[in-house]
Amino acid sequence: MSFIELWHSGAPLYQAGLIGVAAFGAAAFVLLFFVSAPYGRHHRPGWGPAISARWGWVVMEAPSFIGFAALIIVCNPAAWAWCVGALFLLHYLYRAFIFPFRMKGGGKPKPLLTVLLAVVFNCVNGAANGYDLSRVEDPVWGLVGLGVVVFALGVAINHHSDAVLLSLRGPGETGYKIPHGGLYRLVSAPNYLGEIIQWTGFAIAAATPAAALFAVFTVCNLMPRAYSHHQWYQQNFSDYPSARKRLIPWIW
């Protein structure tokens, strides 16, 4: 079944969900260049009740894992789809149930509003990707192989960049420092670059509307966030490397 056929043959709820994700992504891309999402280093009062960042991560990321797993188990796709789906599941297994307990500063507040918005997105995105992947009967093996390689590259960049950030703080430290090493020599947010590459790889391997839209949404969400990070570093560190770009090495 082709990319277009997957869209047209999808259930109305699936189509409505993807249209909602597209609208959400477009709005977020524009808005987040003007208003930084109020969590992490950009946290500020005035955004309503909050929960700890650690439990916020668990609550908002778990629906992607659960929704995707539920749909792909119910639909019981071909073996290749299980293998590609494992990439999605392993990422969210880490993001929802491992990363929150490794992060430093997990007790910092995270606005409940941002958590709830992420829960809605992740419920739709996880279920739609599981549903779509289970309906592909004849994969293009060259794209599957290329996608897996690109996904692995993104994961390596993402995890190495996260490891650099985790190493910056000693026991009991809560402040921020300038990260160095790896792709931090070139950009302010290589972890975001890695995640964009990662989901681009998944979209290539899956070749479904839901996966393609997820990759685009990732750009819409993380590109403005990288912009905000870069500005924040420049405003808070007078010795911040001037040659370092925001997200794309040597370009932006």
Q: What is the full per-residue pLDDT of the chain (252 aa) written as tens digits?
A: 778 899 999 999 999 999 999 999 999 999 999 999 999 899 998 999 999 999 999 999 999 999 999 999 999 889 999 999 999 999 999 999 999 998 877 788 999 999 999 999 999 999 999 999 999 988 999 999 999 999 999 999 999 999 999 999 887 777 899 999 999 999 999 999 999 999 999 999 999 999 999 999 999 999 999 999 999 999 999 999 999 999 999 999
Main-chain phi, psi angles of 248, to 5 degrees: -110, 115
In angstroms, the CA 98 to CA 54 distance is 10
Tokens of 139: 């994969």
Query: What are residue 245's DSSP bridge partners?
Result: 187
Tokens of 6: 């997957």
Query: What are residue 51's DSSP bridge partners?
Result: 110
Among candidate residues 40, 173, 170, 167, the one with its CA nearest the CA of residue 109? 40
In angstroms, the CA 163 to CA 181 distance is 11
In angstroms, the CA 151 to CA 162 distance is 16
Tokens of 57: 């991560």
Residue with tokens 């789906």, as numbered in its chain: 85
Tokens of 189: 């947010």
In angstroms, the CA 8 to CA 2 distance is 10
pTM: 0.96
